[in-house]
A and B are shown apart, each in its own frame.
With several copies, the nearest count.
Chain A
Amino acid sequence: MRFIPHTEEERQEMLRAIGVERIEDLFADVPEAYRFPPLNLPPPLTELEARWELEALAEANTHAGQYACFLGAGAYRHFIPAVVDELLRRGEFYTAYTPYQPEVSQGTLQAMFEFQSMICALTGMEVANASHYDGSSALAEAVLMALRLTRGERPRILLFPTIHPEYRAVVRTYVQHLDVRLEGDEGWTREQLREPLAVLEALEARLDGKTAALVIPYPDFLGRVLPPARLRETADRVHRAGALLIAVINPIALALFDPPGSWGADIVVGEGQPLGIPLSFGGPYLGLMATRMAFVRQLPGRLVGETVDREGRRGYVLTLSTREQHIRREKATSNITTNVGLMALAATIYLSALGRHGLRQVATLCYHKAHYLAGRIAALPGYEVWTEQPFFHEFVVRTPRPVEEINRILYEDYQIIGGYDLGRAYPELDGHMLLCATEMNTREELDALVTALSEIGGLKAVAEAGKDPL
């Protein structure tokens, strides 16, 4: 029977050893009225039949390998070298549990230590945990951490409006029954949203003795990167107000841009999916979380530390578990136990394989391609592109027709998966689309999108591909 090895003879032998007659006897303690209910599930399939069914389900989707895809908005399609999956598929890694027994878990533990080290390197922070569920829940935990670090005396959290809308929603879910006020992320006009430095200034002005933290995105949901020099000032102001600066980052962007550690962030969170993890319809992804060493005891999640064995050899263990639920129970820093270890391993392998040079190449390609695409679309009549700030991965386009309509035509007539409809999350940005380009989008694809948008815009002509687009 599938994965149960027993033969009937063995089963009988085991029942005899237990001292019962039938399997059913093992369930005498289950209230009789509820015992052995029918399970109304479809009949079992063999592996071959399951494969057929799953293949049919998979083929009922259109995926980003078939159509050119310009969706980003928090999930990014990047090149994943073959070496990542080759190593991830080693049974010793993926069929292990959380490394509670370090002597037989050095593989996982050392890899997690390397992961923590790499996230510190990327963010410029001093300590990183061994992962959180995803970027959004990492942000929620960072907010809770900031509340703890300010001893619960500061119930206010200021959120930048162009933090990923779903991240802000998750924070709201987490704190809904706590005495916490989330402010700053709503009620802005389109014009205001278009001027992030003004928004920043306005939020800074609201810092006070009740504020635990200011949360800023880097880059923001609209792809825009705020000037590091300006953020250094923000950090100063936040710190002068006795609050913490939390940054929500995109790890690929950090290969190019000055990291939060260098401009003064206190807690850094982000979505690690771009680091070698497939889109997979939204999960599992990889929550990143890093902070200053001074705050380590309020950091939630697993931490791997270096130590030695009884013969003096270097080794790794889970450490500071006194912060965690299985020791501290209701006084723990978080309830988290299972995180996304395998995704952290994927990112560790990815970052090792690409290394300093390769990751820079990825970031540079994304930067150039997004800017090339933005430049060409900006030249199309009827479209307007937000290019005031430098951007990464993605940018905002005002479209001459409803975004949904454009996307439908792109899909049906051009085999293109279009951009994210900003009206979904920001009513004030109705009629605006967020378009993303990565190293996976060839110039041919970018040009095809431009041509398609031009045709859909109902306005002929426009510059040919490659002609001085900016």
Chain B
Amino acid sequence: MTEPLIFEYSVPGRRGVELPEPDVPETPLPEGFQRADLPLPEVSEVDVVRHFLRLSQMNYGVDKGFYPLGSCTMKYNPKINEEMARLPGFAHLHPYQDPETVQGALALMYHLQEFLKEIGGFAAVSLQPAAGSQGELAGILMIRAYHRDRGEGKKRIKMLIPDSAHGTNPASSAMAGLQVVNIPSDRRGNIDLDALRKECDETVAGLMITNPNTLGLFDENLLEAIDLVHRCGGLIYGDGANMNALMGICKPGAMGFDVMHYNLHKTFSTPHGGGGPGAGPIGASERLAPYLPGPIVAIDRERTVRPDEPFYTFVWPERSIGRVRAFHGHFGVFVRAYTYIRMHGPRLREVSEAAVLNANYLLARLRGIYPVPYDRLCKHEFVIMGKIPGTPIRALDISKRLMDYGFHPPTNYFPLIVPEALMIEPTETESKATLDAFAEAMRRIAEEAREDPERLQQAPHTTPVRRLDEARAARSLVLRYAPAPAPQPASEPR
């Protein structure tokens, strides 16, 4: 099953959605400004509907089935969130309206800041960053600004990053002009304290910690590592991608993290949208709070008439690093996250508990079938090795074969420190029955690896397309539509 490009449905002169005729006198466009052609598709509305409906059916989402993509927290996205974000009183607000006319929206943002502060144990939160990676960049800029204000801006140029970290950590550090120093993991998957100690000097800007780390493990050296870095004058950046393990379990801010981003599209159930929009608010400790990107929402005491009806307004943190984007952040995502948090309240702890329960249960079911490189209590996810001794099977083959069983594959080949890594995060919204079915599929695949390895190597067999030639795509770049001599006919017998 393939689907033509929407351009291939185009017929010159065909009309889609039309607009009204002008109801005002027309003004001619000046000479020399007008564009010549506008090579957009010319299709009918039903073409559009069918095309994108068929495309959607070629996609796998959480709504279709189990999606244990490690580090991505593919939990169920409640449908009420979608309805709330579409309320006209949210969807049709212009970002430059006077605060007086958008008190509901500002109240929502204010309370979301407060909720995130409480969940993360931070002194202040900015909702600005558009995604986790932008939150990281902002957080690192805050750390740099802090050092600069203490006259150490030029000196503190080293960012310490464990080798299990997400790639965004070094990338963000580099964007902020820092040098990246890799810190190895010890045999239990923790930050290697000796290696860390060696790097701790007056050139350290900070340490970036993902906790639980990308092995799904709570770092047993966490407090000591934080202490080491703090003692040499560095600050701690927290990569909050894995907060789904920790809500109500512990507060990073309380444990010494200076700044951390939250992924609303992971922990707080907002949909990932096939690649965004996410949102990456950041929380900061007392000393970093003045550096948060702005604006943030605060109560304007002067304009508050009744104490139970505060007047909300945008303010700038005192020493803000500035804006990281135009306007006020991904408001539509905030509405969804707010709704989710309000539906759980203190019971968010149960969310994290169930997420960790599910991961440990699935790990227990897979242990003995696949090698487990760091085998201890995991948190919300865990890493196994996609190898079957005595067979040529790789993690990629297992991933592709899982598709034939109706599952989305786990994250593969990450973290980099585990060969043939399969990183599995079930999330709390999956039932025991689903986990059992997945474990059973993994067991059968291990059998198939021995009995019929070729079947795995040629997997997937039942997807809209078979295994795709990624090397070819990179070699002979085709990155946009160009009219083909003979477009594919719309209906092939199958």
Contact = CB atoms under 8 A, between A and B. Distances in A.
A and B touch in the complex (CB under 8 A): yes
Given A42-B345, A367-B27, A338 B35 contact: no
B94 A3 contact: no
Interface stretch (A187-195, A196-204, A355-363, A451-459): A355-363
A5 B94 contact: no
B35 A262 contact: yes
Interface in A334-357: 334-345, 348-349, 351-357
Interface stretch (B192-200, B299-307, B331-339, B447-455): B331-339
Nearest to A52: B20
A455 to B, nearest CB: 20
Contact of A31 (B255, B348, B353, B409): B255
A332 interface: yes
A94 B276 CA distance: 9
Contacts of A305: 473-474, 477-479
In this complex, the interface size class of chain B, counting residues with CB under 8 Å from chain A, is 35 or more
Contact of A328 (B19, B29, B171, B329): B171
Interface in B356-375: 356-358, 360-361, 363-365
Contacts of B357: 6, 11, 14-15, 18, 23, 26
B15 A355 contact: yes
A284 B333 contact: yes
A37 B254 contact: yes
B365 A17 contact: yes
Interface in A69-84: 69, 71, 73-75, 77, 79, 81-83
A343 B6 CA distance: 18
Given A122-B40, A281-B331, A283-B329, A62 B479 contact: no
Given A91-B64, A326-B414, A335 B432 contact: no
B103 A60 contact: yes
B94 A39 contact: no
A227 B33 contact: yes
A385 to B, nearest CB: 13
Contacts of B14: 5-7, 355
A417 B94 contact: yes
B83 interface: yes
A131 interface: yes
Contact of A51 (B33, B80, B333, B346): B80
A390 B478 contact: no
B6 A352 contact: yes
Contact of A296 (B144, B173, B477): B477
Contacts of A114: 5-7, 481
Contacts of A282: 95, 326-329, 331
B468 A81 contact: no
A215 to B, nearest CB: 15
Contacts of A469: 25
Interface stretch (A97-105, A153-161, A206-214, A234-242): A97-105
B80 A82 contact: yes
Nearest to A259: B35
Nearest to A359: B40
B468 A102 contact: yes
A419 to B, nearest CB: 9
A178 B341 CA distance: 38
Contacts of A126: 480
B273 interface: yes
Interface string B15-50: 111111011111101101111101111111111110
Interface in A25-53: 26-31, 34-51, 53
B38 A309 contact: no
Contact of A342 (B24, B153, B249, B277): B277
B167 A110 contact: no
Contacts of A325: 133, 166-168, 170-171
B63 interface: yes
A335 B326 contact: no
A255 B276 contact: no
Given A345-B274, A356-B39, A9 B248 contact: no
In this complex, the interface size class of chain A, counting residues with CB under 8 Å from chain B, is 35 or more
Given A256-B29, A340-B276, A411-B98, A107 B58 contact: yes
A275 to B, nearest CB: 11
Contact of B88 (A65, A229, A364, A446): A65
B96 A338 contact: no
Contacts of B272: 94-98, 338, 341
Given A42-B342, A296-B479, A71 B276 contact: no
B206 interface: no
Interface string B139-181: 0010011001000010000000000001110111111110010
A172 B324 CA distance: 9
A26 B353 contact: yes
A460 interface: no
Given A29-B218, A114-B6, A443-B24, A5 B44 contact: yes
Given A342-B277, A368-B26, A26 B365 contact: no
Given A97-B272, A169-B323, A281 B175 contact: no
B55 A317 contact: no
A266 interface: no
Interface in A85-120: 85-87, 89-108, 110-114, 116-118, 120
A99 B98 CA distance: 39
Contacts of A75: 94-96, 327
B274 A283 contact: no
B92 A279 contact: yes
Nearest to A437: B24
A135 interface: yes
B77 interface: yes
B400 interface: yes
Contact of A116 (B40, B55, B59, B480): B480
Contact of B479 (A13, A304, A327): A304
A343 B271 CA distance: 12
A176 B79 contact: no
A151 interface: no
Contact of B175 (A30, A45, A144): A144
A127 interface: yes
Nearest to B136: A335
Q: Which of A96, A320, A411 has the most CB of B within 10 A?
A: A96
Nearest to B7: A117
B236 interface: no
Contact of B118 (A39, A60, A310): A39
A255 B311 CA distance: 42
Contacts of B262: none
B167 A166 contact: no
B59 A281 contact: no
A3 B277 contact: no
Contacts of B61: 91-96
Interface in B422-477: 428-432, 458, 460, 463-470, 472-474, 477
B322 interface: yes
B92 A10 contact: no
A330 to B, nearest CB: 4
B315 interface: no
A409 interface: no
A19 B488 CA distance: 29
A418 B330 CA distance: 24
B230 interface: no
B293 interface: yes
B24 A372 contact: yes
B5 to A, nearest CB: 6
Nearest to B263: A338
Given A3-B429, A354-B16, A356-B40, A372 B27 contact: yes
Q: Which 3 A-B residue pairings sit nearest by Cβ, starting from the closest?
A: A282-B327, A341-B275, A58-B89
12 contacts: A13-B432, A37-B250, A39-B348, A41-B346, A44-B346, A74-B326, A172-B322, A322-B474, A354-B16, A369-B24, A375-B27, A439-B19
Given A174-B175, A326-B414, 16 more contacts: A31-B223, A36-B349, A42-B342, A73-B96, A92-B64, A96-B61, A133-B276, A166-B323, A176-B141, A302-B275, A304-B479, A305-B474, A335-B136, A341-B276, A358-B16, A407-B98
